[in-house]
Amino acid sequence: MKTLTPFVSAHTHGQRGPEDGAGPSNALPSEELTCQAGGDAIIGVYDGHGEHGHHVSRFVNDHLARELQQIDQQKLADVNLAERALAEAHAKTQEALKRSGIDVSLSGSTACTALKRGRRLLISNVGDSRAVLGRIDPATGRMHARDLSEDHKPDGAKERARIEGGGGRVHPSLVPGRGFAGPARVWDPSQRFGLATSRSMGDTVYAGPNRSGVIAEPEVTTHKLDRSDKFVILGSDGVWDRISSQEAVEIARRSKDATHASEQIAQLARERWHRNGPVADDVTAVVVSLSA
């Protein structure tokens, strides 16, 4: 089994939803999709959006990787210190992104990252990509999905409270003659632009006072892995808008290896998008096997 060191990632670039446009999907070679139980790994999915989203996602991937690799091992052993260290790595990446020369006023990227150190798994999430753990119930032998991150949608209870509590606005697009249509969005202070995710790297036009707009702060969770944990799935929202976490882990369990699992999940999501119309969102799925 090959240990992932130091970084494996997937990028997508497209718009925020099926009403906006489509983008490509990515997969990783099989030899880079197994992580030994005691090994270290950084695995991420970065879903770009806006005109310069592909540049943003690649910049975030590269810069965040360097920041995460520099975190002291002792900090990662302490839950509170680890969470602060990951938050600081994202803050430094966001500031570097602003200075990069990329126009990030209306372009950005999600950042869903799994940082594995031995049997400790830390998940940092910005945006509406998602990390899911596939876990076997020792008593029943059934596979269960455990979401390791929370999707940052503007109309989620916690995100809406944060935004509107600081004076920001959340509502769908107002279409003349049709009324409100499409997903809920965070609106910039001028009310001209709306974004369908409440956290993002970049997207500076949506910043608001008192954290009332789109923010680049990650939510960080930590987990201690054991033999019941079989794999981690990271995917863009184009996956999770069409496939549930439970369905995804069941697909992964039936697949012959991690690469086949990622391909099957992505293919099913694309098929379901196409059945619902000519426009599809970005679809990226990365499955990482956790060897015993």
- The CA-based angle 158-160-164, given to 5 degrees, is 125
Whole-number mean pLDDT of the chain? 87
> Per DSSP, which regions of 69-218 are E strands?
108-109, 111-117, 120-126, 130-136, 143-147, 170-175, 179-187, 194-195, 201-202
Give 124's Cβ-side CA count (13 Å radius): 28
Average pLDDT over residues 15-35: 38
For residue 8, what pLDDT band results from cuts at 50, 70 and 90?
A: low
Q: Is the per-residue pLDDT at 31 higher than 50?
A: no
Q: Domain residue spans in the chain? A: 8-151+218-290, 157-211
Average pLDDT over residues 105-114: 97
Q: Is the per-residue pLDDT at 194 higher than 50?
A: yes
Average pLDDT over residues 281-289: 91
Residues 116-156 pLDDT 10s: 988 889 999 999 999 999 999 999 999 999 999 999 999 99
**137-144: long-range contacts at Cβ-Cβ below 8 A with a sequence spacing of 24 or more?**
137/228, 138/228, 143/230, 143/249, 143/250, 143/253, 144/246, 144/249
Write down the pLDDT at residue 10.
Answer: 60
Is the domain spanning 8-151+218-290 CATH 3.60.40.10? The answer is yes
Average pLDDT over residues 254-283: 91
Stronger pLDDT, 3 or 72, i.e. the higher one: 72
Coil, strand or helix at 47: strand
Assess contact for 125 and 150: CB atoms under 8 A. yes
Write down the pLDDT at residue 179.
Answer: 87
* Most confidently predicted of 63-67, 74-78, 173-177: 63-67
Residues 70 and 208: their CA atoms lie apart, in Å, by: 30
Residues 2 and 290: their CA atoms lie apart, in Å, by: 11
Q: How far is CA 25 from CA 45, 48, 135, in A?
A: 11, 12, 26
Residues 207-255 pLDDT 10s: 999 999 999 999 999 999 999 999 999 999 999 999 999 999 999 999 9
Q: Is the per-residue pLDDT at 103 higher than 50?
A: yes
Write down the pLDDT at residue 27.
Answer: 38
Nearest to 216 by CA among 204, 229, 230: 204
Q: Identify the residue whose tokens are 């799935």.
A: 233
- Name the β-bridge partners of 124: 113, 220
For residue 19, what pLDDT band results from cuts at 50, 70 and 90?
A: very low
Give the type of residue at 154.
P
How, if at all, do strands 285-290 and 34-35 pair? parallel
Write down the pLDDT at residue 37.
Answer: 55
- The CA-based angle 249-262-89, given to 5 degrees, is 90
Q: Is the per-residue pLDDT at 169 higher than 90?
A: yes
Q: Is the per-residue pLDDT at 13 higher than 80?
A: no
E strand or H helix that includes residue 66: helix 53-69
